[in-house]
Structure 1
């Protein structure tokens, strides 16, 4: 008589630890796919609207009109927040340059500080979730492997009282236990691939943000837009390491 095998049989024969590992992998899979979808949408939206938002900003006749234009076109809010922060810093310096803790600080340094702070905040927002994907990609295979080892041990313990052990009785439980390793890989591989893809997309977005910050700094401090490639201030020096 052939021994019953399959996912349902494996679940029915498993103990609480096997069930906990399977549920944990299922939760990690659902959570990672949610993060993947959210990050993919963010990268797609940035590619779709940032070029148009920058064109609208630099094509506006005045700074207030430019702020309004970039707020309307930038669906991500990343470039718009940088433009607003820089404009507010320039205006604040103009009104309070002769008093307060900012007294004696040049408009260039004052605007640079504001842009630096906004770049750090934008980077934190852009890269949120990547740490989770990296953690899932690195730990899920080992979680699945632990489930496999425990499942094999549980199956062998169940056969320990048998007077005669044949291959058919061993192969079924062991094969079912190996499903946990496959489940761990199923969870980890999409997370790793998504992490690499999102990291590349984020680098492109941050490069665009950095270039806009240099041009914006030149415009707010001199009234002229910096030429592409000019490095007026070292805003990139505040770039923090990639994190979630």
Structure 2
């Protein structure tokens, strides 16, 4: 009579440690997919609204209206927080530059400190969850392997009292135990792929944030505002003259 094999039989024959490893892998899988879904939505939202937010900010006639515009368009709050922090720092320096602990500090340095602090907070927000995904991707295969080793050990102990061991009695428990290794890989592979994809996306987001920070700093300290698409030098004319 053929022996029933599968997940249900493996679960029924497992002990506390086997069940604990399976539950742990299940929790890691659910948590990692939750983090991946949240990160994917945040990345999609930033790509969708950051371009409009920057255009609205630089297209506004005054700084208060620019702050209001970017706060409305930026659904992530990253660019808006940077703009608000920089504007508050510039106004605070203008009012209290002659007294207090900030006396003698230039407006450029004061605004730079505020913007840099806000960039650090934004970076922490952008990179949240990546450490967890990296941890899941690196540890889940070993957790599954531990479950496999323990399952094989548990199966062999169960067969130790048999007077005659045939291949069918050994192959079944060993094959079921290997399910734990497959489960570990099933948890780890999506986490690793998502970590690599989100790391690249975060680099692009940070580059956009750094570019806006430099432009914002220049505007708050000098009053000059470069509009997107402005050409101070006609590159086509330069190339034409070079080739002439």
| Superposition TM-score tier, normalisation by shorter sequence | over 0.9
**Counterpart residue number, 2:139:** 139
> Which residue of structure 1 lines up, in the alignment, with residue 32 of structure 2?
32
* Structure 1 position 227, deviation (Å): 8.5
Q: Is the 8 A contact 2:35 2:129 kept in 1?
A: yes
Match of 2:94 in 1: 94
Q: Which has the larger radius of gyration?
A: 2
Instruction: Provide the C-alpha distance between the structure 2 equivalents of 1:19 and 1:194, rounded to a whole number of angstroms.
Output: 27
Indicate the residue corresponding to 1:80 in structure 2.
80
The Cα offsets for residues 78-102 of structure 1, whole Å up to 9 and x where unpaired, read as 0000000000000000000000110
- Point out 4+ residue stretches in structure 1 off by more than 3 angstroms: none
Q: What is the CA-CA distance between 1:225 and the residue it aligns to? A: 2.8
CA separation in 2, counterparts of 1:41 and 1:75? 12
TM-score by length of 1: 0.92
What residue in structure 2 maps to residue 62 of structure 1?
Answer: 62
Rounded Cα–Cα distance in structure 2 between residues aligned with 1:53 and 1:205: 14
Question: Pairwise mapping of residues 1-244 of structure 1 onto structure 2 (< 5 A)?
Answer: 1-225=1-225
- Quote the Cα distance in structure 2 between the aligned partners of 1:196 and 1:127: 12
Distance 1:227 1:60 in 2: 11
Q: Do the aligned partners of 1:28 and 1:136 also contact (CA within 8 Å) in 2?
A: yes
Which consecutive unaligned segments of at least 5 residues does structure 1 have? 229-244
CA distance in 2, matches of 1:36, 1:227: 36
SS in 1 for 2:104: coil
Deviation at 1:226, TM superposition (A): 5.6
**Aligned-pair Cα RMSD in Å:** 0.9
Structure 2 unmatched runs, 5+: 229-244
Post-superposition CA distance 1:179-208 (Å, at most 9, x none): 000000000000000000111111111000
Q: 1:226 to 1:108 in 2, by over 3 A?
A: farther
On the 8 A contact 1:218/1:226 being kept in 2, the answer is no
2: CA distance, partners of 1:226 / 1:144: 55
Cα distance in 1, alignment partners of residues 118 and 226 from structure 2: 19
Task: Give distance in 1, aligned partners of 2:94 and 2:217.
Answer: 15
